[in-house]
């Protein structure tokens, strides 16, 4: 392989890598928009127990949740399932209690937001997801 061929191969590889980075950055920007408008506040997502509640990168910036029918503990994870290595935190509510929390700057979500629910009650309310910044 000549020096010229090696140089062309290296440049081609670098251009492809930079194009992939640009595509990923644009995709993240589009995920942080609704009908073409950039999100300025938080996107409320209904809380679903024992399920992925949000897919993609973002920030957990808060929640407003109430416990009905008994105590509720929500364990939050950054991933597709309850994984102790990807634990974000917990919301612990007595029966009939509610909690509204806003988190300055938020907590990064890399992949997905999984919500594990334990306790006799049922959670109701919303998780607030912020844009990727």
What tens-digit pLDDT sequence spans the chain (133 residues)? 788 788 888 878 888 888 777 777 666 655 666 666 666 678 899 999 999 999 988 999 999 999 999 999 999 999 999 999 999 999 999 999 999 999 998 999 999 999 999 999 999 999 999 877 6
Instruction: Give the C-alpha separation, 2 to 8, whole Å.
Output: 10
Domain boundaries, the chain: 3-31, 39-130
Q: Are 87 and 115 in contact (CB under 8 A)?
A: no
CATH classification (class only), 39-130: mainly beta
What's the confidence (pLDDT) of residue 54? 95
Taking residue 82's Cβ as centre, other Cβ atoms within 10 Å add up to: 14
Phi-psi region of 96 (alpha: psi -120 to 50; beta: other; left: phi over 0): left
62 Cβ contact list (under 8 Å, min separation 6) = 42, 100, 101, 102, 103, 106, 127, 128
Give the pLDDT confidence score for residue 38 in this predicted structure: 66
Measured distance CA(120)–CA(95) in Å, rounded? 9
- The distance from CA 133 to its chain's CA centroid, rounded to whole angstroms, is 12
């Amino acid at each position: 392989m000549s020096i010229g061929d090696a140089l062309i191969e290296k440049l081609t590889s670098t251009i492809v890598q930079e194009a992939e980075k640009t595509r990923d950055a644009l995709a993240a920007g589009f995920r942080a928009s609704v009908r073409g408008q950039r999100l300025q506040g938080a996107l409320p997502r209904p809380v679903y127990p024992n399920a992925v509640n949000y897919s993609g990168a973002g920030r957990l910036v808060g929640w407003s949740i109430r416990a009905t029918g008994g105590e509720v503990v929500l364990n939050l994870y950054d991933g597709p399932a309850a994984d102790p290595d990807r634990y974000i935190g917990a919301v612990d509510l007595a029966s009939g209690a509610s909690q509204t929390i806003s988190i300055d700057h938020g907590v990064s979500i890399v992949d997905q937001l999984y919500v594990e629910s334990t306790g006799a009650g049922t959670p109701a309310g919303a998780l607030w997801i912020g844009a990727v910044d």
